[in-house]
Homo-oligomer: A and B are copies of this chain.
Amino acid sequence: MKRRKKTSISARKTPVQDRSTRLVADILEAAVRVLSKEGARRFTTVRVAEEAGVSVGSLYQYFPSKEALLFRLQTDEWEETWSVVGEILADARLSPVERLEKAVLVFFRSEQQEASLRAALDDAGALFRDAPEAHAFVEVTRREVRTFFVELLPDVPDARRSLAADVVLTAMAATAEKVTAQRPDRPTVDAWAKECAAMYVAYVESVALTARRETVTGTRRSPAPRGRRPR
């Protein structure tokens, strides 16, 4: 079997001189432009190089493959989005439920922001989705969300809580992707985000309830039900 590619999906070499640093930056910017304007189908190494005013050869000097370039874009996007969302989830000034609601809204908006880029990345996803590097990335996010859920569902058994966290994370990511793929306008996105947030909150509360009930008479006087309950 000679199916496995040898070239990893990570960067090939690191730029050391200034001009190459700039070159890599130019390529990345051009790549974003090409991807969002031309779509995944027409995303070509040569086209990216042209758009960047650079030779294809130079591109391959720093990215071992088209796959790698795409993965880099995906990674950058993901990191930018989660740096913001992560902060919200950790913002102690808000109640856990409020944080969740805000995070969902911001996430949806963020996905919409670069809709065409996201869509194209998604179409191209098959090219790098299976790489171990990609999987590792998602894992980090998952842990972050699980940690946040400790605050959200303190009295729920670990296994159940982790499942709930995964469910909400997956549902949010999948739904936002599908919704923004249709290029909705801002109010529409906000409406969806709000409904979804309401859904996650309702779910989380129901999990808290059933879990507390299952702890039978062990009424350890858990610290007043978190989150605003509907007035």
Contacts and interface: CB of A to CB of B under 8 A. Distances in A.
Contacts of A230: 206, 209-210, 213
A198 interface: yes
A127 to B, nearest CB: 9
A199 B209 contact: no
A170 interface: yes
Nearest to A119: B126
A198 to B, nearest CB: 6
Contacts of A202: 199, 202-203, 205-206
A228 to B, nearest CB: 13
Interface string A196-231: 101111110111011001000000000000000010
Interface residues of A, number: 34
A198 B203 contact: yes
A175 interface: yes
A173 interface: yes
The complex is assembled from copies of this chain, and their number is 2
A214 to B, nearest CB: 11
Given A123-B126, A195-B164, A199-B199, A179 B175 contact: no
Contacts of A167: 175, 192, 195-196, 199
A203 to B, nearest CB: 4
A6 interface: no
Contacts of A200: 199
Nearest to A177: B174
Contact of A170 (B173, B179, B205, B206): B179
Nearest to A196: B167
Contact of A171 (B41, B191, B196): B196
15 contacts: A123-B126, A163-B191, A167-B175, A170-B175, A170-B178, A171-B171, A171-B175, A173-B178, A174-B175, A174-B177, A198-B206, A199-B202, A202-B203, A206-B230, A213-B230
Interface of A: 39-41, 123, 125-126, 163-164, 167, 170-171, 173-175, 177-179, 191-192, 195-196, 198-203, 205-207, 209-210, 213, 230
